Amino acid sequence: MLITFEGLDYSGKSTQVRLLSDRLTLQDHHVIILREPGGTEIGEKIRKMLLDRTNTEMSEASELFLFSASRSQLIQEVVLPALEGGMVVLCDRYYDSTTAYQGYGRGIELDVIQTMNRYATGGLVPDLTFFLDIPIREIEKRISAAKTNKDRMESSGMEFYERVREGYLQIAKNESRYRIINGLQPIDDMHELIYQQVTEALSTKR
């Protein structure tokens, strides 16, 4: 089963992925955690390029191609073998991030995005997707609290993030696999909601 987590930066995706992995592992599920971009040697090199703040001249097309290249490598090298082996694959971002960030956020035509996504993934669609939704103002608050420097993507501005969030909400309307989670809830409450949905999906899958 392929379960993906989507959301704006600092929405808490990575924490929820880890909590879910720990709980499923205790129940003897074989789980693998992946992140995008990255997850392979090639993907991690691409990740550094994409997030490097000094790459200010990167074009929108280059950004799209690099994200897609990393994803394609991850699918072929890790995801498909894991799924074939009966593992539960938890992915911190997947192609919906490209639709939201490069499509709705950057303004690249959605038809182009969909074609790229389909080709990079070989048409592999998640079984379940969780969107951790937070208000835009919460991003700056969490970045400030974390006391970290913004990477290239995080430096795109709040108007950009507004478009990205609206993009995610639009995707959620069109995809039955989506579950919207209020990202302002306590961490444990979010985890419990996610866990119940995953448990139900796993039992149905069997």
Main-chain dihedrals φ then ψ at residue 28, nearest 5 degrees: 70, 20
> Crossing angle for the helix pair 110-121 and 60-74, nearest 10 degrees?
20
What end-to-end distance do the CA atoms of the chain give, in Å? 10
- Mind listing the pLDDT tens digit of every residue in the chain (206 residues)? 999 999 998 999 999 999 999 999 999 999 999 999 999 999 999 999 999 989 989 999 999 999 999 999 999 999 999 999 999 999 999 999 999 999 999 999 999 999 999 999 999 999 999 999 999 989 888 877 887 777 777 777 889 999 999 999 999 999 999 999 999 999 999 999 999 999 999 998 76
DSSP 138-205: HHHHHHHHHT----TTGGG-HHHHHHHHHHHHHHHHH-TTEEEEETTS-HHHHHHHHHHHHHHHHHHH
pLDDT (0 to 100) of residue 45: 97
Pick from 2, 190, 197, 205: which is nearest to 96 by CA?
2
Tokens of 120: 């990079």
Give the residue extent of every domain in the chain.
2-205
DSSP 106-138: T---HHHHHHHHHHHHTT---SEEEEEE--HHH
Fold of 2-205: Rossmann fold (3.40.50)
pLDDT (0 to 100) of residue 147: 73
pLDDT (0 to 100) of residue 206: 67
Q: Which residues contact 88 (CB under 8 A, 6 or more apart)?
A: 1, 3, 24, 29, 30, 31, 32, 202
Pick from 186, 126, 137, 146: which is nearest to 165 by CA?
137
CA dist 205 → 61, 67, 128, 140 (Å)? 37, 30, 11, 39
CA distance 104 to 36: 18
